[in-house]
Amino acid sequence: MTEPSPGPVFRNDPLSGYPAEDFLTADLRTEFHRSARPGTVRAEGWVVQRNRRVVFCAAELFQNGELIASASCTQIVRRP
* All domains in the chain, ordered by first residue: 6-78 (3.10.129.10)
pLDDT in tens, 5-29: 444 444 555 556 656 678 899 999 9
Exposure string for 13-23, b = 16+ CB within 10 A, e = fewer? eeeeeeeebeb
Q: Is the pLDDT of residue 4 over 50?
A: no
pTM of the entire predicted model:
0.72
Mean pLDDT of the chain: 83
pLDDT band at 78 (very low <50, low <70, confident <90, very high): confident
Largest pairwise CA distance in the chain: 43
